[in-house]
Amino acid sequence: MSAPDHREDAFALGTAAQGTRAEPTSEASLLGAFAALVQRDLRLAARGRADAVTSLVFFVIVASLFPLGIGADLKVLRDIGPGVVWVAALLASLLALPRLFVADYADGTLEQLLLVPQPLSVLALAKVLAHWLTTGLPLVLLSPLLGLQYGLSAEAIGMLVVALLLGTPTLSLIGAIGAALTLGLRGGNVLTALLVLPLNAPVLIFGAGAVSALMAGLATTAQLSLLGAMLALSLALVPWALATSLRIACE
């Protein structure tokens, strides 16, 4: 994605924001702004697809190196497979976080978002959704292929996909807070990692634990319920925390 392309989209978004300033906020306009911002970020991601591909390649390489280093012991590979895939997904998601707000902060798009009548929390959630669609969802779709490398059964691979579907949105939501808090700071990428990794540890534990429990013949209801609860809690709290952090960054 070139800089002129991004500035062009930022200008279009700002023009739309000025056009709706005088209109009362309604459910229709809120949904329209949400959808427009998601489409804009998806279009920008398609132009700069190299960034998304980098995260996917990193995910595949990290998950594929472990079988090469550990050896061909199928039992060991099955035991460590769910955890390795989850760690690789976490690191790949972290790798994609810097592009979530940085470009919009640099060209003034975030300041334009502060001017629109729609809540900034909802617009920030739209950006996180677009980020997950371009990074988290592809990781989920690739996970069955990586599960085969570790000799996981069809049932275990299915549970891995379900756990990633519940867990990766939480990774994006929590990661967005770290990206917003470090926006504009020197060495922000390192600070983001230090903030996000400890907070994402429960998602990693219960996500990998769901697959391990299934392989051991145990119930997985508890792990999946906790993943769903963390996702619901993140959806309820993270948008407002993001809105506050972005307002502070733009001051």
Place of tokens 């669609």: 133
Residue-wise pLDDT tens digits, 175-222:
999 888 888 777 667 888 888 889 999 999 999 999 999 999 999 999
- Token couple for 44: 């920008």
First to last CA, the chain: 27
Gyration radius of the chain's alpha carbons: 19
Structure confidence at residue 16 (pLDDT): 43
Say if CB 13 and CB 112 are below 8 A apart. yes
Cα gap 238→79, rounded to integer Å: 33
> For residue 149, which phi and psi values (nearest 5 degrees)?
-65, -30
Question: pLDDT means per 10 residues in the chain (251 residues)?
Answer: 48 45 56 87 81 86 86 84 92 84 80 82 91 91 91 93 95 91 76 87 94 92 95 93 86 72
Cα gap 180→2, rounded to integer Å: 23
pTM comes to 0.85
